[in-house]
Amino acid sequence: MSSFALRFVGQEALPSRLSEFDREQLFELGSADVEAITQQFRVGHRLPAALMVLFMRATGRPLDGFNVLPRNLLRRTAELLGISSPSIATLRSIYGRSQTLFKHQLWAKRYLGLRDLEQGDEIQLTDALRIHAQEATHPDDLVRSACQWLYTRRIVIPGPRRLKDWARDALATIEASVLAHVSAAVPVARARELSALAYCIRPETDSTHLEWLKTPPRRHGPASLAETLEKVRFLKALGADTWDLSSVTLAKQQAYARQVQSRRPAKTREINPSRQMIELVCFLRITLLELTDVALLQSSRRSQQLFREAANRAQASRARATTGLLRQAAQASAILHDEARTWQDRVLQARQLLAEFSGVTTGSFVSQVRKALAGRPAGTCLPDIAQGSGIRRPQGRPWFPAVEGVECVAGTQCCRNSRRRAASGSGCRLARSRPRSGPPLEPSGFGSLHADVAAKEPSSRQRLDRSLTEPSRARPDADSSSPLGIAT
């Protein structure tokens, strides 16, 4: 049964207010209930007996009196029984006699098929509570588990004091076991040193190491990443990564760590030394695990930010280069189409105008991104950060996930080429790129206008040089005054 349907289990009194949904789902009399109550009780006692049945069915324990009673429940129950709705004072006066109260409780228990707790049931319940205590941190959690365990087995839930005694005993047993495992992983002398260091003031600050570790990480950035890695190095220097707490469940460790996180350091120092050692060791261990995850996430975001900025700079540089090329091409086109000049003058001026682009090749967009990354101001390298914090790079894998996805720059030809290479099984070359001697290997099919012109330019220039130096050879169908067949 879901926890939503069991949220009223174990309550000692009716709620002051009850929604219509809860009343219809959990506090509604059926036709069989109305018939049984009508046959068993006289008119004046039908409504109290009906409320007793509804309460025991929803909570699993008997109702001791009408201290609080929802008006919509009282009105609806009286309507189903076919009687007028009395006042709460009248209902209280009915249960003023203890014999009437016990009689209604006994009849409701038999009608609903409930039974009292037996010795065998108590043994099974305590064993179940010890299992739940391996992940619980407060007796109230175990009390709730005990109520649900009894309710699902149709056993009348006893008083709250008895339930709390069982919960405290189960927690004490598990805590003794946890203390033994923690003492085996961290000797007592070392635990005392950790406690003294945790409450020691950090150099050049006014906060303790414990308060510093409890500070959540800020927004991702170089300073936040450096602080996170400093905390990781501090915890590893304490030896938190070598403590063997595998015998203590992770949920239990997280529960102890939450106790330290939610409590002021001064209050933590006031608790029992053994409990303080358990909570502090679990807090340091869980904090190390969480900070390593945070460091990897921040490093991934930082690498993605670096690639994104480099791609933006490369895109802007490429746009400026393309604009200059188009301007020069327009000027060259105007010169070549100037009929007032001879063809030799037009060619020589256009060649002089395009001379600055003769040996320039822009390369692919991916190479420009690499160049922008290499030209960043000097700073901390992400692999150096990872190595300094003790994070090992998986064999055959890049440092961070963002390195794998650098080729997937939205809207670029590299993305489309990558998908084609993925279909053929070759993969994207940018993901495999590493520093090496010689020119970089560019993705095929990702050339630019400059690259195409540069590839075709030598043969064109040779023909033009020959046309300017050799004697003109006119074709039969062209004007003899122009070696290229251009009318002058």
pLDDT in tens, 327-380: 777 888 888 888 888 888 888 887 777 776 655 556 787 888 888 888 765 444
- Tell me the mean pLDDT in the region 285-297: 91
Check residue 360 and give its pLDDT: 55
Nearest to 243, CA basis, from 295, 201, 184, 188: 184
Percent helix, strand and coil across the chain, each to the nearest 5: 65, 0, 35
DSSP-assigned letter for residue 97: S
- Res. 36: pLDDT tops 70: yes
Residue 420 pLDDT > 70: no
- Looking at residues 284-291, what average pLDDT do you find? 93
Rg (CA), the chain: 41
What would the two tokens of residue 295 be? 């460091």
Share the mean pLDDT of the chain: 76
Using the predicted structure, report yes or no on whether residue 12 has a pLDDT greater than 70. yes
Q: What's the length of the chain?
A: 488
Under 8 Å CB-to-CB from 439, ≥6 apart: which residues? none
Higher pLDDT, 324 or 106: 106
Joined tokens for residue 6: 């069991």
pLDDT at residue 396, rounded to an integer: 52
Is residue 224 very low, low, confident or very high in pLDDT (cuts 50, 70, 90)? Answer: confident
**Burial profile 314-350: b = 16 or more Cβ within 10 angstroms, e = fewer:** bbeeeeebeeebeeebeebeebeeeeeeebeebbebb
Q: What's the whole-number mean pLDDT along residues 212-218?
A: 86
Q: How confident is the model at residue 142 (pLDDT cuts 50, 70, 90)?
A: very high
Distance between CA atoms of residues 192 and 281, nearest Å:
11
Assess contact for 121 and 155: CB atoms under 8 A.
Answer: yes
Q: For 237-265, write each residue's pLDDT tens digit.
A: 999 999 999 888 898 899 889 988 888 88
Q: How far apart are the first and last CA of the chain?
A: 98
- The token duo for 124 is 């099974």
pLDDT reading at 189 higher than 70: yes
Identify the bridge partners of residue 485 per DSSP, sorted by sequence position.
Answer: none
Whether the per-residue pLDDT at 479 is higher than 70: the answer is no
